[in-house]
Amino acid sequence: KNEVEQSPQNLTAQEGEFITINCSYSVGISALHWLQQHPGGGIVSLFMLSSGKKKHGRLIATINIQEKHSSLHITASHPRDSAVYICAVRGGNNDMRFGAGTRLTVKP
Amino acid sequence: GAVVSQHPSRVICKSGTSVKIECRSLDFQATTMFWYRQFPKQSLMLMATSNEGSKATYEQGVEKDKFLINHASLTLSTLTVTSAHPEDSSFYICSANTGSKNIQYFGAGTRLSVL
């Protein structure tokens, strides 16, 4: 079993829909990151969470430390949101473990 | 904001040659940098943790003599793929930790193709 599990693996949505991507982890962490990887491969760090909730524009990330679960929400989705979203957790050794990613396609 | 620069973005080389990839933190000092590998349609895999002034820490299964890491300064880490073979073709990404804010910044990645 992977240390970081993401769901769904693939997600197709219509423009304007509300999107949720889930991440569950089984190890102790000091922080959780949500990353966005575009087709060219470059990675952007969207959020770093250690507790609670963060919001940036149309993106919202939440984390429940007790349940070892995090969600990434996208409100009013747009085709430019199409990308792979990766959940990554930082362990005690400052290393990172990655989920398999969720491939999001938003259709106009 | 903080930026990590990775160079080159793409390299094509012949089998048996060595390839060096650079990872620079542009406006902050990074005592720790990380190197990842990504196979097509797969997630990132941590290869090694690069510490300034000391030997890198390699993940299990990663050959340290194959993937040489040098972190000679607080702003530069290099990954050298020695005697590259076609199976080394992959997407390599580095990241750097700001330390004080514990934020990870990623390079744009290097796509290596070994012919």
Q: Mind giving me the DSSP string for B51-101?
A: ETTS--EEPTT--TTTEEEEEEETTEEEEEE-S--GGG-EEEEEEEE-SSS
What lies within 8 Å, CB to CB, of B1 at 6+ separation is none
Average pLDDT over residues B17-33: 91
User: Quick check: helix, strand or coil at residue A81?
Assistant: helix
Check residue A25 and give its pLDDT.
Answer: 95
Check residue B29 and give its pLDDT.
Answer: 87
**Cα–Cα distance, A16 to A75 (Å, whole number):** 7
Residue B102 sits at the chain A interface (C-beta within 8 Å)? yes
What lies within 8 Å, CB to CB, of A67 at 6+ separation is none
Check residue A93 and give its pLDDT.
Answer: 65
Q: How far is A96 from chain B (nearest CA, A)?
A: 7
Check residue B105 and give its pLDDT.
Answer: 82
Residue B101 scores a pLDDT above 60: no
- B100 band by pLDDT with thresholds 50, 70 and 90: low
Check residue B36 and give its pLDDT.
Answer: 92
Q: How far is B97 from chain A (nearest CA, A)?
A: 9
* pLDDT averaged per 10 residues in sequence order, chain A, 108 residues: 89 97 92 86 84 95 96 97 92 77 95
